Structure 1
């Protein structure tokens, strides 16, 4: 597989560190407490939030308990390839578990005692970076529902390619993808591809099978916040929440890749934050009336 052409561009014309076009729409479902449509490239996700509402259970419930219920469904027309039996449900279960644990770290549960929040995610189309798109869509839907969050949860998928093998003791990190030699002279053998598309991410929790392109990668989920409330430069910082790795990757490579993923998460955070502000201005114009 030709990963980069002679000009150092990917198969969709992007640079390795370049994000695809992102489109966000908030408040599409008026019957829900919060909803968001998130599109990154051709990956399209619709997230809907109901709640917070009372937990209906006969079992005793502590005052600090909050149930975050995530359900993921996939449209029949979302993927061109037919998934193997059982693989699709397994991938959806993985996304659900990662999403629930990640959201628990940012939702201010102490303000929602004995409550339940239901998050329904519909995957309309798959074209890579499905897990990260579900995380970003859920963040927008929760913000639209007015759920108190300490930080905004942002995610990005990253692929790792190497022009040569990296020895790590008895193990070797190998990649068979072709890369132009002139592009890797100053890259120490590693190239990080931000925001993988369908051909690069065919199988990384994408609804069918695991990655068949031999392209190691990972999905980073982070809390993005401003470094200081008094910082006039609006410097952003990322705090790691979860890291889903799809290949055996040396630790030193993961550290370098995480820095690139953090920069991408900061860019995505800026777009999500602007979408939330725009939605607030449109829905509450009286707040800004002079």
Structure 2
């Protein structure tokens, strides 16, 4: 594989756009804005972040910090911190993977995570403090507003029980490779329909299986667990709909319902982008 910056940036932008192209109930997409943002916000943030995610030879922490600063400067809100945290190690891995495909990428990713340095932790901490998403760094011992005293993987492991993005660093991106990528592949056979597609399948796989970390931070664990059950029920019913027009209507109706309740499974969307990015890198 050993991809260069142009290919990595292209894969990153393609992943961000593909995620916006489907109706993800509760989350922002091209078919409906939400939570004070619209698709153009995320497109602008992705375009600003891409050169830093793809910077040749850059450390993971430098990619995270550069991309977060650029995104914040472009849109003035935390539009993609979770995406950036997930994309940076994948991009670093794509530079060194020994061949094309999922397994070489996964092997290179494990090596990239194992090779993280204190400098990487400093960059990631600074990015998280800038974006201020809550979650990681809220313990008294390891606040992201202070210089890191432990490695980035160790810090993420501490947050892994409450944040699915952090958990990826601790378990080698297992949810991306074992849930997201299979969900994308399983949906490939469906006819192409605007608003539907593999990215939606991955999103529902995550949102129906895990209480969303973003929702838990805003509304608490019980509300996140209740939403997970609703997402799982929707996904089961949605899978029985055979007409694309009916499926799109159902997704849009559930989307509007969740947005009225101000529920946004944003972490599920971040994991979806990471799954798409991993796929595009593996296929490049």
The TM-score, its normalising length taken from structure 2, stands at: 0.30
Q: Which structure has greater strand proportion?
A: 1
Q: Which structure has greater helix proportion?
A: 2
Which entry has the higher C-alpha Rg, 1 or 2?
Answer: 1
